C-alpha cells in the first residue's frame, strides 16, 4: 500500500497570507498606482475567493475600472490582471527568500517522518507554482523540497473549494483517497479535500481561525513541535486524541 500526505501551501506551510500575500498585494497596488489598499478585514473577505488572479479580478467593478482608468474590454482587463499578479508574485517571492515567513510548527518534522516511512509527499495549492516552490524550499529546505510533487496555480480549471486540484494530485500520484491525508487551514480548502473524499487535518491560521471546519477529521492550532510549540486540539471528531503532537501515527489513525 502506498500512502500520501498532501499539504496546502498558504497558511499551512507558513502563515503566508498575513506575512506575505497581503503586504505583497498592497505593495503592488501602490507600485502600479491602483486606488485600493486591502485592510486585514478586507483581505479576510477576499480570501473566500480561490486564486490570486481571481482575487484581483474581484476588484473590477465598473466604479473601480473608471477610477483606475482601466480599459473596458475583457481581454485587456485579463491582461492587466496577469500583469498585476506577476508583479505581486515577484514581490511575494522576494519576501519568502528573505526569510520573512517562518515555517509553521511540525511541517518539516512530519514531512521527514512521512518520507522515512515511504509516504509520497505533495503540495496542492491555488497559488502560483513559483510562490509555492519558494515557500516549500524555505520551510523544509531544498533537499526535502525535491521529494515533493507540486500541483499549483492554473493546472486545473476550477480552484478550491472545487475538488479538482486534489483529484488531479491523486491521479498523478496514483494513490487512492483512502490512503491519503490532507493538511489544510481554510474552510475552502477543507471543502475541496472533503469533496475529493480525503481525510483532512485542519491547522488553523491567522485568517481562518473562526471559520467553520465541519467535516474535518481533526482540527488543531498547529501540527506541533516539542517542547516549545505543542499542538492544541480544537476538534477531534474521530477521537484520536488527546495529543500534543500530530505525528504519522495520528495520520494513519485518521485514514482508518
Catalytically annotated residues: 8, 10
Q: Which residue reads 503566508 in cell numbers?
A: 16
Hey, is 151 helix, strand or coil?
A: strand
Q: Which residues contact 158 (CB under 8 A, 6 or more apart)?
A: 164
| Cα dihedral 152→6→22→77 (10° resolution) | 20
Give dist(CA 139, CA 107) in Å, integer. Answer: 8
5, 252 contact by CB (below 8 A): no
C-alpha cell at 160: 478550491
Question: Environment class of residue 94 by beta-carbon count within 10 Å: exposed (0-12), middle (13-18) or buried (19+)?
Answer: middle
- DSSP per-residue codes, 236-251: -TT---S-SS--HHHH
H/E run at residue 224: none
| Cα dihedral 189→192→193→194 (10° resolution) | 120
Amino acid at each position: 500500500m502506498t500512502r500520501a500526505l498532501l499539504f496546502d501551501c498558504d497558511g499551512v506551510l507558513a502563515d503566508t497570507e498575513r506575512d506575505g500575500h497581503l503586504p505583497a498585494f498592497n505593495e503592488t497596488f501602490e507600485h502600479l498606482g491602483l486606488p485600493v489598499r486591502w485592510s486585514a478585514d478586507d483581505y479576510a473577505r477576499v480570501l473566500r475567493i480561490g486564486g490570486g488572479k481571481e482575487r484581483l479580478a474581484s476588484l473590477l467593478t465598473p466604479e473601480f475600472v473608471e477610477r483606475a482608468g482601466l480599459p473596458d474590454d475583457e481581454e485587456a482587463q485579463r491582461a492587466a490582471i496577469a500583469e498585476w499578479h506577476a508583479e505581486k508574485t515577484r514581490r511575494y517571492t522576494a519576501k519568502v527568500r528573505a526569510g520573512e515567513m517562518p515555517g509553521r510548527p511540525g511541517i518539516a518534522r512530519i514531512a521527514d517522518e512521512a518520507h522515512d516511512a515511504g509516504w509520497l509527499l505533495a503540495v496542492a495549492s491555488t497559488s502560483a507554482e513559483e510562490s509555492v516552490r519558494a515557500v516549500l524550499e524555505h520551510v523544509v529546505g531544498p533537499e526535502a523540497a525535491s521529494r515533493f510533487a507540486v500541483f499549483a496555480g492554473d493546472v486545473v480549471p476550477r480552484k478550491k473549494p472545487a475538488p479538482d486540484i486534489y483529484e488531479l494530485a491523486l491521479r498523478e500520484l496514483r494513490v487512492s483517497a483512502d490512503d491519503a491525508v490532507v493538511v489544510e487551514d481554510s474552510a475552502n480548502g477543507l471543502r475541496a479535500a472533503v469533496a475529493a473524499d480525503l481525510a483532512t487535518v485542519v491547522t488553523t491560521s491567522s485568517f481562518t481561525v473562526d471559520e467553520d471546519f465541519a467535516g474535518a477529521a481533526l482540527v488543531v492550532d498547529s501540527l506541533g513541535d516539542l517542547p516549545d510549540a505543542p499542538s492544541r486540539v480544537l476538534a477531534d471528531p474521530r477521537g484520536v486524541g488527546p495529543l500534543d503532537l500530530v505525528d504519522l501515527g495520528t495520520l494513519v489513525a485518521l485514514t482508518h
